[in-house]
Amino acid sequence: MAFCTDTVSRVWTVVNPPAVPKVEKPTKFGILGAAAIAPSALIQPARSHPEVVIYAVAARNLNKANSYAKKHGIPKVYGGPNGYQELLDDPEVEVIYNPLPNGLHYEWTMKALTAGKHVLLEKPAANTAEETRQMFELAEQKNLILLEAFHYRLHGSRFHPAIQHVKAILDSGELGAIKSLAVTLAVSKGTFSPATDIRFNYDLGGGALMDMGCYTMSCSRYLMCANPTSVLSTTHEVYPPSPKVDRRTVAMLAFPQDVTATITCDLAVPLSLGFVPTLPQISVKVEAEKGTLDMLNFIVPTMYHSISISPRQENAASRKRMVKAYQFTDVGMEDKGDKPWWSTYRYQLEAFVDRVKGRTPQTWIEKDDSIANMEWIERVYEKTGLGSRPRSTFTPP
Ligand SMILES: NC(=O)C1=CN([C@@H]2O[C@H](COP(=O)(O)OP(=O)(O)OC[C@H]3O[C@@H](n4cnc5c(N)ncnc54)[C@H](OP(=O)(O)O)[C@@H]3O)[C@@H](O)[C@H]2O)C=CC1
Ligand SMILES: O=C1OC[C@@H](O)[C@H](O)[C@H]1O
């Protein structure tokens, strides 16, 4: 009973966080595009951040921008064909949130940085590793903060307690050396509408590996503390109307020390019995010398997650258990003032604002990490034969 009420209360508060009083001069964010993800990833989290206000939104269509702004209480609106650039040119705006389709990340991040704004950039960083490198180099040159929004790994000044706890167990040696990993992110057919959703549009940087595979790649590299050494094999299924768009990709990656990782991503798992949607599959499975570890829901752990540790019988240094880590204190860590209803996006915002304000979060997604993630996504695409997503035609001034 307590489990049910805690879960309902936590999930309700993620979506309806308490609004806190703002500091005298909060940092003003502007959003490029009236994107579906912005309320969860930025607008709701900003309510409980005293140093952040969502000041402006721009959409290609002014009516759409107006109704989005009204719905979310955003005071300043830009719309029409020049709306995005007008938002970038607004001197009040200090930070740009870029949730445009993947294929537009590069162009509008380069423009935002050129306009002197910090950028919180949606994942995956761009369509290619080279574009990713250029964005980070420009940010460095201009002394601006640029973060690829891998929210599942950013939790305030530390990693998310859940994924951090998984990593801490693996790093402790309790289960011995990792032998293999399987990281999966797959949702049922019907979750997205292929005819209209950006995820199925090759020109906009679509594909399962781009959208979901970027997390599975990132998580494998994070848990292994290493980049793969090669792509051993791949299988994929395309979305037939768009033959370069992978609806599903499975890749087997080699990592140092003879570890293999299987990453699986699917934008439209077929319905069971032809009509029943399947539950989302969001899992990490680790096979180690002295036991196994399974984590459910590494992407949105605030909603619900579980971490199961199953040592082999002969492993006397370990015990079988199931752990949850909604807050640092759940796993014996120092109280950082975080709340169980802080979503990964709320913690991400905390870390991002720390950096913008010149404070130092203990963890960060570094430039090289973002570049390497994109590089290995491209290598998997190369192995599938589908090739990288198209390079941007935008030329920086
Ligand atoms: N961090 C996370 O958990 C998640 C991240 N994402 C990422 O966020 C980004 C956006 O995803 P999502 O919000 O689901 O997508 P949406 O389609 O809802 O939003 C994309 C926005 O891009 C704008 N846009 C500009 N040019 C085009 C174009 N040619 N075609 C289509 N849209 C265009 C649209 O803005 P306008 O209003 O101006 O028309 C639209 O609002 C992606 O990079 C995705 O990977 C997505 C979901 C979850
Ligand atoms: O970033 C994301 O996370 C959750 C997925 O469902 C979504 O497709 C993706 O864009």
Of the residues 14, 31, 37, which should be mutated to test ligand 1's pocket, given the most ligand atoms within 8 Å of the CB? 37
Classify domain 161-326 by CATH number.
3.30.360.10
Distance 48 CA to ligand 2 centre (A): 23
- Catalytic residue annotation: 123
Q: Using CA positions, which residue lies closest to atom 25 of ligand 1?
A: 100
pLDDT (0 to 100) of residue 40: 96
**C-beta 263 within 6 A of ligand 2:** no
Q: Provide the pLDDT for residue 157.
A: 38
Residue written as token pair 């991400």 = 348
Q: How far apart are CA 184 and CA 76, in angstroms?
A: 40
Rounded distance from Cα 98 to ligand 1 centre (Å): 9
Q: Is the pTM of this model over 0.90?
A: yes
Q: Where are the domains of the chain?
A: 161-326
State ipTM: 0.99
Q: Which ligand is nearest to the CA of 68?
A: 1
Ligand 1 center to 194 CA (angstroms): 14
pLDDT at 158: 43
| 96 close to 122: Cβ distance less than 8 angstroms | no
Residue 151 CA: which ligand 1 atom is closest? 1
Distance 212 CA to ligand 2 centre (A): 6
| Sequential pLDDT tens for the chain (397 residues) | 777 888 888 888 888 888 999 999 999 999 999 999 999 999 999 999 999 999 999 999 999 999 999 999 999 999 999 999 999 999 999 999 999 999 999 999 999 999 999 999 999 999 999 999 999 999 999 999 999 999 987 644 344 567 878 888 999 999 999 999 999 999 999 999 999 999 999 999 999 999 999 999 999 999 999 999 999 999 999 999 999 999 999 999 999 999 999 999 999 999 999 999 999 999 999 999 999 999 999 998 888 889 999 999 888 888 999 988 787 777 777 777 778 888 889 989 999 999 999 998 867 899 999 999 999 999 999 999 999 999 999 999 8
pLDDT of residue 109: 99
Q: Which of 152, 214, 215, 247 to mutate to test the pocket of ligand 2 (most atoms within 8 A of CB)?
A: 215
CA distances from 389 to 188, 192, 230, 337 (A): 23, 20, 20, 41
Strand partners, 54: 29
